[in-house]
Amino acid sequence: MDLARRLAERGRYTVAPNPLVGAIVARDGTAISECWHARAGGDHAEIGALKAAGDAARGATMYTTLEPCNHHGRTPPCTEAILRAGIARVVIGHLDPNPRMRGQSVEMLREWGVEVEVLDDPAFERQNEQFLHYMHTGRPFVHLKLAATLDGRIAAADESGGRVTGEAARLRAHQLRAEAGAVLVGAGTARADDPLLTVRGLPEEPPRITRVVLDPRLTIGGDSHLARTAAQAPVLIFSEERALDGREKELEASGVEIVAAPRSSEGLDLTFILEELGRREIRGVLVEGGGKTAARFVETGLADKLTFFYAPKLVGSEGVPMIGALRVTKMAEALRFSVANVETVGEDVAVTLYPAREVDRVHRAG
């Protein structure tokens, strides 16, 4: 199963919006064949492993990280292929939370005499955290990424001092975009940097990612990189309805989609935006906005995972802070996180965290 999990990882930057899956056909503890799910629409890992095993699959054991599907989608059901191949035993890392699944494949296989073992190992659930979150909530998994100096600054005082992190960290950021399937920034970042927000530098071409901008006053121009490349990769701009006064026509003519979003007390309603992305079957979003956008996702509890890249640099208190105002006045009110991983990425350090939600319910009077 450890090998199956490592196989699944090979699809991390190409499989979105599908889940990561690795599968092995084995007999007497020796692997006969192996496969991983590489792209949506391609063979599922179980199908690929069965094809590679051929007749040797009869009476063998299949190890798969995710419950095999039993419904027709872009590809035929894996359970039917397992039965036809004569697999005698199936070991599953975790159940599929898809409403059309949820243990149904396990029941079906057992009814036809196949021995099934479900491990329910948290390691397999963590590997597919994006897919599981979407299936449970209907909203994309939000991964917040920031690059900062050691003193928590994302730019120097004039905001034009060049890149913060090195090449290795920037490549990792592109990998995170591909993994998520969508990237989101605020209007300030879009105006200041005029970014492409595409995925570049990966050895394999990932699926097209959706580029999302929160732009309440609709300030993004038709000459921006986003607008000029909308035909190559989708661009979705959320704006206040009152800002749609005709200026949107130029953007729409270039292929940009404009969506009117309601306001909350702090800006555009982030819950509405995530639910809208979920309706479009976007299962993950990498938030790369500036400090204000980051603060909103963190403070509202909508950031499901955080990765901070720290460069070995200092710029001092006049630099631009990585996180905007959180209205925390006492240490007891501080938002808390658990550290999942710390690693060196080139010349920088990456820290991956998850919200400690059970201890982060602080009542703020007034």
Indicate the range of 52-61, 95-104, 250-259 predicted with least confidence: 95-104
Checking if the pLDDT of 360 tops 70, the result is: no
Give per-residue pLDDT as tens, 30-82. Answer: 999 999 999 998 999 999 999 999 999 999 999 999 999 887 666 678 999 99
309 neighbors 146 (Cβ within 8 angstroms): yes
Per residue in 159-192, pLDDT (tens digit) is 655 789 999 999 999 999 999 999 999 999 999 8
* pLDDT, mean of residues 232-250: 94
- Please say if 46 is a catalytic residue: yes
Query: In terms of domains, do 169 and 36 share one?
Result: no
Residue 365 has pLDDT above 50, yes or no: no
CATH of the domain at 182: 3.40.430.10
Using an 8 Å Cβ cutoff, are 307 and 170 in contact?
no
Whether 364 maps to a domain, the answer reads no
Higher pLDDT, 70 or 270: 270
pLDDT at 223: 93
Predicted local confidence at residue 75, as pLDDT = 67
Asked whether residue 122 falls in the same domain as residue 147, the answer is: no
> Within a domain: residue 147?
yes
| Residue 348 sits in the same domain as residue 254 | yes
Smallest CA-to-CA distance from 56 within 21, 31, 20 is with 31
Total residue count of the chain as it appears in this document = 366
The total number of structural domains that make up the chain: 2
For residue 159, the model assigns a pLDDT of 64
Q: State residue 363's pLDDT score.
A: 35
pLDDT number for residue 362: 38
The pLDDT value recorded for residue 357 is: 67
Per the prediction, the chain carries an average pLDDT of: 92
Output the pTM of the full model.
0.92
Decide if 366 is inside a domain.
Answer: no
- Cα–Cα nearest to 78, from 113, 112, 43, 103: 43
Are 143 and 124 contained in the same domain?
Answer: no
Max CA separation in the chain (angstroms): 70
| Domain C-terminal end among 96, 129, 162 | 129
Pair 230, 171 in one domain: yes
Q: How confident is the model at residue 361 (pLDDT cuts 50, 70, 90)?
A: very low
In a domain, 41, yes or no: yes
Catalytic residue selected from 46, 67, 248, 288: 46
CA distance 306 to 298: 9
| Boundaries of domain holding 16 | 2-129
329-339: pLDDT as tens digits: 999 999 999 99
Q: Are 123 and 5 in contact (CB under 8 A)?
A: yes
CATH number of the domain where residue 49 is located: 3.40.140.10
Indicate the pLDDT class of residue 98, thresholds 50, 70 and 90: confident
Do 125 and 149 have their domain in common?
no
Query: Are 31 and 63 contained in the same domain?
Result: yes
> Do 284 and 322 fall into the same domain?
yes
Residue 82, φ and ψ in degrees, nearest 5: -65, -45
